[in-house]
Amino acid sequence: MTETNQEQQTWHLYILRCKDGTLYTGITNDLTRRFEEHQSNSPKCAKYLRGRQPLTMIYHTDFKNKSLALKAELKVKKLTASQKKLLASGQLVINEIADTH
């Protein structure tokens, strides 16, 4: 897939809750595939998540391209766990923290 096609795809920002209660934030252009990779503890699973399954997806939102998703991911990763939980519960809106939609 060319870079131009990747930029035109829908990208997803997601937050996962691990079995130990910690939170993990990431982006992908295929939410189902990426969640399955993380959940399966496969070699494609993020290192942080290895051994922390089962995982629960507590939040996800879409962006029109990878650049916007990356910018939002950086801002979400700077949030505290409490702020991420507010985002997941709908009490904090991504537009309030990221100028990205």
Q: Tell me how many domains the chain contains.
A: 1
Assigned domain for 97 exists? no
CATH number at residue 57: 3.40.1440.10
What is residue 93's predicted lDDT score, i.e. its pLDDT? 86
Assigned domain for 15 exists? yes
Domain interval for residue 54: 3-91
End-to-end CA distance of the chain: 24
Separation between Cα atoms, residue 79 and residue 20, nearest integer Å: 19
Assigned domain for 54 exists? yes
Output the pTM of the full model. 0.86
Assigned domain for 33 exists? yes
Assigned domain for 101 exists? no
Contact predicate 9/29, CB 8 Å = yes
Residues in the chain: 101
Assigned domain for 82 exists? yes
pLDDT digits (tens, 9 = 90+) for 8-50: 689 999 999 999 999 999 999 999 999 999 999 889 999 999 9
